[in-house]
A and B are shown apart, each in its own frame.
With several copies, the nearest count.
Chain A
Amino acid sequence: MSILVDKNSRVLVQGITGREGTFHTGGMLEYGTQVVAGVTPGRAGKAVHGVPVYNTVAEAVAETKPNVSIIYVPGPFAPDAIMEATDSGIPLIICISENIPVNDMVKAYAHVKAAGARLIGPNCPGLITPGEAKIGIMPGYIHKRGRVGLVSRSGTLTYEVVWALTESGLGQTTAVGIGGDPIIGTSFIDVLELFEADPETEGIVMLGEIGGTDEEQAAAYIKEHVTKPVIGFIAGVTAPPGKRMGHAGAIISGGTGTAAEKIAALNAAGVEVAERPAQVADLMKARLSAQLRAYLCSARMPFSQHDAA
């Protein structure tokens, strides 16, 4: 098992004829992802890497029945693309685009939510279930199918940790980049819930950064609802307040959103927080081994009880 995407995912690429769209469609196809259609208004009838292009999402849906859409259109046009996908009934929408005006995003988010669809991103690398489907811009080869679910606000930082998990032999069930913008469609909590319910996922890695209070909320959620081991990392311990650290969402403002607060909240929820990205894999390995030992011990328990009875 895995979460959100697998080998049955049928992918639509919105903005497929753009530079980014074309390039990453190639990458996704190469990885074995089923890319069934693309949309670029006015380019119907063309093909990109053999994938047919339509004028509208409605047409693409009618012809090719995608169940995931990935959006590469420029930021100012991305909210419209999100709403087009939503209104065409696509249940999972991954928005890679960055630089989206935030007030537009607030509206698009509200619309997606009202329609009951799921949006991941914007300004995110997408997500991957190793060996099944890569729906995003991450380098596929660093991933390996395995035991750990990963959710992250960053891009390359995720790759760093994915690589460490792969090297350590733990691998990943699914790795989800939720994006670095202030308003995002899917939060840590949403993904934690999915990983908690996924039988294949044994441990969860959560990569946060400064800005907002998503990590604090996730910590509270973990405390109440997550039984699997969670290892965290928070980037930006040394970031100064009031400065946007690349991501629109990565900013300490009004004294909130500091790494220290987030680390404290996670620790209080029983989440070990790594000091270095690569250390995440070591900590997870240790936790899973400890859990295995504990399980083996407890597994003997019933026998003893039975014997006693």
Chain B
Amino acid sequence: MNIHEYQAAELLETYGIPINAGKVATTADEAALATQQLGGGSGKVAIKAQVHTGGRGKAGGIKLVGTPDEAREAAQSILGMDISGHIVHKVFVVPAVDIAREYYLGIILDRAARGITIMASSEGGVDIEEVARETPEKIIRVTADPLLGLQDFQARMVAFGLGIEPQLMRGFLSIVRSLYDAFVGSDASLAEINPLILTGDDRWLALDSKVTLDDNALYRHPAFDELRDANEEDQTETRARANGISFVKLDGDIGCVVNGAGLAMATMDAVKQQGGDPANFLDVGGGASADQVAMALELVLADPAVTAILFNIFGGITRCDLVAKGILEARTRVEVNVPMVIRLVGTNQEEGRQILSEAGITTVDTMTEAARGVVEASRAG
């Protein structure tokens, strides 16, 4: 689960990390008021778009202003902005800070090392992925022993690797440790401070924070429920998740209903190979019931862009007869006004095809056939 910058900052603050405290505003007036309160009209503040996507700086989603009036104006222009498909509903107003140095400090779930890795760089404030690609030697990496957790000597290796001076060491080490504690304590898969800055008067400050939470561990953090931002979630995706269906909205017009994530991706790829554009990724899950298949069809049909639907089911645990019944069931619940191409093989495939054929629905044998068929049907429609 993604959370906003201001939420990440609040989370890190509870672990003792010094953050640049600010105020959230949902209207231009609130932003002006926040500016008044924070700077008293004297210092500058930054107005920062809160969206679950990167690149807001380049998109004009961050503005530095000096007065409440300027803040109102800036917020006005940022609120409602579309950044990579995300509409800005909130801005974070924070005091501008005197920056002496900028660092990157991040903790990630390291798939290759099968552990938790601390990454740091003295190239802070820039896109760390770019640093990783262009100048990997500028990134310090230390992987914590999964069972021991981060040891002090490892935190020191990060600090010495960055050339932190002895008098600044204690504060830096404390931030590294706290960030690790925050990562583990909140079951994050990413916790990053970019930039972590040293101010002109030698204070450490987390200027921008990002935290991604592990969906599978949310059950033990009920308080995180309120960090969820409905504005940032596709309604259909939310509804799918509640029904145990994996759904991702895409830009095309061919709806896909598939069982299994790998097969669902392969099906999207097959549609694309035939010149079509998938409208979604959809995995109905393992032992999909008739009811779940019906729900999946409803979810796909909820997208007005869909011009044809491809069912691709390889029955293993999933029984083809139940899938067939689900399709018929769905037709009684929602109006299916687009053509459907159905591929149904595996466990109980004959029974499934029989059910569909009796209802006047024909099926195809291979995935390629199905993909070709659905693209043709979409064009015809």
Contact = CB atoms under 8 A, between A and B. Distances in A.
Contacts of A242: 53
B316 A155 contact: yes
Contacts of B262: 152-158, 180, 207, 209, 235, 247, 250
Contacts of A63: none
Given A102-B109, A110-B115, A80 B153 contact: yes
A7 interface: no
B345 interface: yes
B267 to A, nearest CB: 9
A254 B127 CA distance: 10
The 4 A-B residue pairs whose C-beta atoms are closest, nearest first, are: A154-B262, A246-B261, A156-B260, A157-B262
Given A99-B216, A243-B248, A238 B157 contact: no
A110 B278 CA distance: 39
Contacts of A239: 265, 268, 281
B100 interface: no
Interface string A31-73: 0000000000110100000000001111100000000000000
A277 interface: yes
A182 interface: yes
B259 A238 contact: no
A183 interface: yes
Given A101-B187, A137-B317, A56 B160 contact: yes
Contacts of B7: none
Nearest to A216: B112
A247 B217 CA distance: 15
A236 B368 contact: no
Contacts of B315: 139
B3 to A, nearest CB: 15
Interface string B234-257: 000000000000101010000000
A221 interface: no
A275 interface: yes
A84 B315 CA distance: 33
A245 B248 contact: yes
A19 to B, nearest CB: 9
Given A87-B145, A138-B316, A247-B262, 10 more contacts: A41-B156, A101-B220, A103-B217, A111-B148, A139-B316, A157-B263, A160-B263, A244-B248, A255-B129, A278-B368
B263 to A, nearest CB: 4
Contacts of B215: 248
A142 B345 CA distance: 11
Given A245-B264, A250-B265, A103 B184 contact: yes
A169 interface: no
Contact of B260 (A100, A157, A275): A157
B67 interface: no
Interface string A211-241: 0111001000000000000000101111110
Contacts, number: 203
Contact of A106 (B115, B133, B156): B115
B367 A154 contact: no
B216 A102 contact: yes
A183 B160 CA distance: 30
A106 B160 contact: no
A249 interface: yes
Interface of B: 53, 109, 111-112, 114-116, 129, 132-133, 145-148, 151-153, 156-157, 160, 166, 169, 184, 187, 189, 214-217, 219-220, 246, 248, 250, 258-266, 268-273, 278, 281, 283, 286-287, 314-317, 345-347, 366-368
A160 B169 CA distance: 45
Contacts of B53: 242
Given A83-B151, A137-B316, A275-B273, A180 B160 contact: no
A125 B169 CA distance: 32
14 contacts: A84-B153, A99-B216, A101-B220, A102-B189, A106-B116, A155-B260, A157-B266, A235-B266, A236-B268, A245-B281, A254-B132, A276-B266, A277-B263, A278-B367
Contacts of A158: 262
Contact of B133 (A107, A247, A255): A255
Nearest to A154: B262
A155 B261 CA distance: 8
A22 to B, nearest CB: 13
A180 B261 contact: yes
Contacts of B366: 278
Contacts of B345: 163
Contacts of A58: 157
Contact of A250 (B153, B219, B261, B317): B261
B114 A109 contact: yes
A5 to B, nearest CB: 18
